[in-house]
C-alpha cells in the first residue's frame, strides 16, 4: 500500500536541518505501518520500540533521558545495534510514556545525528499534566486516512491516480465514468487502511458487510479512547466528546452545515463543548473548517472562530455512522445527493486536509450566500463550490466572483471538466488536482 506521505519522510531524512519527527494522526490511519516501511526501505536497520503497555520503557524514561544513556537501552529493547547514519529509531505510541516525548528535545540538542521518529495521538499527548513538550525541537507531520489517489493506487489503478495528480482534464473526460465508478467505492470504503485492504484484496467479490464491520470496530475503538484518559481529563469531557461526535452526521445533513451547539444538546453553548471539539480536532478524528468574515488574502487574518463546520476524518466512517446501505451509493447516478450533499462536502474537506490545504469557508453575515470552501494559493484566494448533483446552477459562486473580484473559481461536481467563464468545472474525484492548479 503506497502512501504519499512517504515522500515527505524521505525529504525529512535528507534535510540538513533535520530534527526528530513527530508523526501524529488518528488511530488506525497507518502510522505504525508507514514508519516501519520507511525504516525498511530507507535505512539499513530499524530500531522499533512500542511504548504501549511497555513497563521496561516506562522505567527507563523515568530516569535520565539524555541520548547517551538511552541509546544502549533502546538498542537492547529493539534487538539491533543503533548506528547514527544507518538506523531509524521509532518511538511508537509515544503518548503512553510522556517523558519519551520530552526526550526528543535532547536528541535534537545533543544527538542530532540520530534519525528519530515518534508516533502518537494528540489526545494522549495533551492530557498528561507536568509533561514538558519539546516546543521548537521537533518537526511535525500529520497522517490522514488514504486519499482518493492513494485508494486508486491500492486498488491497482496507478494510471488513474497519476491522471488526477497531473490535472489532465482531457484524459479525465475520456475516463470519466471509470473514475467515477471508483469514487463510488471510495465513498463506501473510505480511507482507513484496514477497510481499503479488505476491499482491494477481495474485489471483485467484495463483502461490504465485512468492511462495515471493520469500520464499526474502528468507531468503537475511538469511543473507547474518549474515556481512556478520563482520570486525567476535565470532569465530564468523555461524555461531551461522545455527544459532539454523535452529532456530526446530523450536523452535516442540514442545508446549512455550520456547527450548532443546540444540535448537540438543547440549550447547548460554546463553553459546554469547545474543549471536546478541540480535542476531536487535535486527534484528527474531526476536521474543522473555519469561517472567514471576508474571503480575502491572507485568509488567516479574516477568520471568525465562532463559526465553523465540523467534519469526520473519513467518509467511509461517516457512511457507517449514518447507516447508509452501500447499494444506495452504487445504484444511484446522483451519487453525492445522499443526506443533502453531506457526502460531497465531507469528501472534498477530507481531500483538502490530506493535501495540507487550510480548511476555510465563507458565508454572508445574514447567511444569504455561502462559498463551501475558500483556499489560498501563493498570492490569491480561490473560491470552491461543491455540487452534489448534476445541476450546476451556482448563483452564490457567480455573485461572489463578481463581488470579490476573484480571478478564478472552481466548481466540483459529478460531471466531466469544462469551463464557464472564470469558473472551472472539475469532477469531484479531481480535488487532488488542486495542488497542481494552485
What is the domain partition of the chain in residue ranges? 5-142, 148-437
pLDDT, tens only, 206-249: 999 999 999 999 999 999 988 876 665 678 899 999 999 999 99
Q: What is the mean pLDDT of the chain?
A: 92
pLDDT, tens only, 384-437: 999 877 777 767 899 999 999 999 999 999 999 999 899 999 999 999 999 888
- What pLDDT sits at residue 127? 45
- What pLDDT sits at residue 334? 59
Residue with cell 471576508: 294
Would the pLDDT of 340 be above 80? no
- What pLDDT sits at residue 122? 58
- What pLDDT sits at residue 400? 93
Say which CATH class 5-142 falls into: alpha beta
Would the pLDDT of 160 be above 60? yes
- What pLDDT sits at residue 402? 93
What's the average model confidence in pLDDT over 126-144?
75
Rounded (to 5) percent helix, strand, coil in the chain: 50, 15, 35
The share of the chain scoring above pLDDT 70, in percent, equals 94
Number of residues that make up the chain: 438
C-alpha cell at 406: 476573484
- What pLDDT sits at residue 225? 85
Strands 381-386 and 21-24: unpaired
C-alpha cell at 257: 452545515
**CA dist list (Å): 191 to 54, 183, 218:** 30, 12, 12
- What pLDDT sits at residue 123? 47
Burial of 156 (0-12, 13-18, 19+ CB in 10 A): exposed
pLDDT, tens only, 99-119: 999 999 999 999 999 999 999
- What pLDDT sits at residue 231? 62
- What pLDDT sits at residue 339? 65
pLDDT confidence of 323, banded at 50, 70, 90? very high
- Angle between helix 5-14 and helix 31-42 axes, rounded to 10 deg: 50
Q: Output the CA torsion sign for 251, 253, 254, 257.
A: positive
d(CA 19, CA 138): 5
Instruction: Output the pTM of the full model.
Output: 0.93
C-alpha cell at 318: 461517516
What's the average model confidence in pLDDT over 346-360?
97
- What pLDDT sits at residue 95? 86
Phi, psi of 325, deg, nearest 5: -65, 130
Would the pLDDT of 161 be above 80? yes
- Give per-residue burial for 394-424: e unless 16+ CB within 10 Å, then b: bebbbebbeebebeebbbbbbbbbeeeeebb
Amino acid at each position: 500500500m503506497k502512501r504519499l506521505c512517504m515522500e515527505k519522510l524521505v525529504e525529512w531524512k535528507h534535510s540538513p536541518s533535520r530534527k526528530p519527527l513527530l508523526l501524529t494522526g488518528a488511530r488506525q490511519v497507518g502510522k505504525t505501518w508507514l514508519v516501519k516501511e520507511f525504516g525498511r526501505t530507507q535505512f539499513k536497520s530499524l530500531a522499533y520500540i512500542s511504548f504501549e503497555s511497555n513497563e521496561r520503557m516506562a522505567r527507563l524514561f523515568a530516569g535520565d533521558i539524555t541520548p547517551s544513556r538511552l541509546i544502549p537501552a533502546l538498542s537492547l529493547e529493539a534487538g539491533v545495534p543503533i548506528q547514527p547514519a544507518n538506523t531509524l529509531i521509532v518511538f511508537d505510541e509515544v503518548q503512553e510514556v510522556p517523558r519519551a516525548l520530552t526526550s526528543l528535545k535532547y536528541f535534537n540538542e545533543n544527538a542530532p545525528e540520530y534519525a528519530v521518529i515518534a508516533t502518537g495521538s494528540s489526545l494522549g499527548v495533551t492530557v498528561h499534566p507536568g509533561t514538558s513538550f519539546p516546543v521548537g525541537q521537533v518537526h511535525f507531520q500529520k497522517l490522514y486516512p488514504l486519499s482518493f489517489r492513494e485508494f486508486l493506487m491500492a486498488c491497482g489503478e496507478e494510471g488513474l491516480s497519476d491522471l488526477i495528480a497531473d490535472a489532465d482534464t482531457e484524459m479525465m473526460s475520456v475516463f470519466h465514468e471509470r473514475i467515477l465508478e471508483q469514487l463510488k467505492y471510495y465513498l463506501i470504503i473510505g480511507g482507513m487502511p484496514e477497510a481499503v485492504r479488505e476491499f482491494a484484496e477481495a474485489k471483485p467479490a467484495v463483502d461490504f458487510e465485512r468492511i462495515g464491520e471493520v469500520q464499526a470496530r474502528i468507531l468503537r475503538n475511538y469511543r473507547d479512547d474518549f474515556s481512556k484518559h478520563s482520570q486525567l481529563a476535565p470532569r465530564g469531557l468523555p461524555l461531551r466528546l461522545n455527544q459532539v461526535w454523535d452529532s456530526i452526521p446530523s450536523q452535516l445533513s442540514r442545508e446549512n452545515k455550520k456547527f450548532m451547539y443546540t444540535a448537540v444538546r438543547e440549550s447547548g453553548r460554546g463553553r459546554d463543548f469547545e474543549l471536546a471539539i478541540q480535542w476531536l480536532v487535535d486527534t484528527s478524528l474531526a476536521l474543522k473548517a473555519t469561517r472567514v468574515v471576508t474571503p480575502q488574502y491572507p485568509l488567516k487574518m479574516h477568520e471568525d472562530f465562532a463559526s465553523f463546520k465540523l467534519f469526520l476524518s473519513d467518509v467511509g466512517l461517516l457512511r457507517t455512522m449514518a447507516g447508509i446501505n452501500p447499494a444506495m451509493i452504487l445504484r444511484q447516478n446522483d451519487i453525492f445527493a445522499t443526506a443533502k450533499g453531506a457526502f460531497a462536502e465531507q469528501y472534498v474537506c477530507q481531500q483538502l486536509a490530506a493535501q495540507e490545504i487550510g480548511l476555510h469557508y465563507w458565508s454572508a453575515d445574514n447567511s444569504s450566500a455561502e462559498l463551501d470552501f475558500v483556499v489560498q494559493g501563493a498570492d490569491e484566494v480561490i473560491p470552491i463550490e461543491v455540487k452534489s448533483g448534476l445541476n450546476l446552477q451556482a448563483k452564490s459562486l457567480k455573485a461572489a466572483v463578481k463581488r470579490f473580484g476573484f480571478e478564478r473559481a472552481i466548481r466540483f461536481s459529478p460531471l466531466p471538466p469544462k469551463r464557464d467563464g472564470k469558473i472551472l468545472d472539475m469532477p469531484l474525484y479531481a480535488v487532488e488536482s488542486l495542488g497542481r492548479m494552485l
